Amino acid sequence: MLIKTLIQQLDKWDSHGIWAFTSSTLHRLFPEQARTRLKALAQHQKAGLITHVARGLYVNPRARSLPGDVLTALVQFLRPWDFKYLSLESALSEAGVISQIPSRLTLMTTGRTQTFATPYGIIEFVHTAQKPEDLRHQVVWDNRKGFPVATTKRALGDLKHVRRNLDLVIIDDAPNVSN
């Protein structure tokens, strides 16, 4: 995969708003280079043309279409099919119930528990057995994020259920705790 060809393809995708892609996408574009593709990907990463985010997922760091909050935007790429919602420390911090900004983006998911350490930050998915239809009144869709966010009450419940540290939670001054 020649650098010139890769850059042309990345720029074409960027003009259509595509800033992240999978290794299987590259395989379809460059099928004749199946044997040398992994080596080429490593070289292109080292050169800064692409950024490896997770297994089989890459970002074009030069993309003009790169979102302002890449970490949050990566959630959809990492878990495209599972139901997920922002919860735990992340949702409570956004609601002002935790005085500190969490060191990671925390989400509940119907998929498996998994943590992704990306160059843009850490994303943690925590499994929940809750059915999406049972959470209908406990999560609110966020257009900016592209997925739901737990109400304060739901996020506190999730935090207790998964036995996370409650020391940072400020119940007395918490806005919207009744949500």
pLDDT digits (tens, 9 = 90+) for 29-73: 777 666 676 777 888 889 999 999 999 899 999 999 999 999 999
Least confident range of 3-7, 35-39, 130-134:
35-39
Tokens 């060191």 locate to 103
Q: Look at residue 96 and tell me if it is in a domain.
A: yes
For residues 93 and 147, membership in a common domain is answered with yes
Say whether both 113 and 33 belong to one domain: no
Spell out where the chain has E strands.
Answer: 20-22, 51-54, 57-59, 84-86, 104-109, 114-118, 121-127, 139-142, 147-150
Residue 98 has pLDDT above 60, yes or no: yes
Within this chain, do residues 7 and 44 fall inside the same structural domain, yes or no? Answer: yes
91 and 53 both lie in a single domain: no
Is 27 inside any structural domain?
yes
- Within a domain: residue 65? no
Residue 176 has pLDDT above 60, yes or no: no
Question: 164: part of which helix (H) or strand (E)?
Answer: none
Residue 175 maps to a domain: no
Per the structure, the count of domains in the chain is: 2
Q: Which residue has the higher pLDDT, 165 or 75?
A: 75
User: Where does the pLDDT of residue 178 fall: very low under 50, low under 70, confident under 90, or very high at 90 and above?
Assistant: very low
Span 20-37, mean pLDDT? 77
| Position 154 pLDDT exceeds 60 | yes
Query: Residue 85: which domain range?
Result: 70-161
- Domain shared by 111 and 157, yes or no: yes
DSSP strand pairing (20-22 vs 57-59): antiparallel
Strands 104-109 and 121-127: parallel
Identify which has the larger pLDDT, 11 or 176: 11
Torsion of CA 87, 116, 73, 174, to 10 degrees: 20
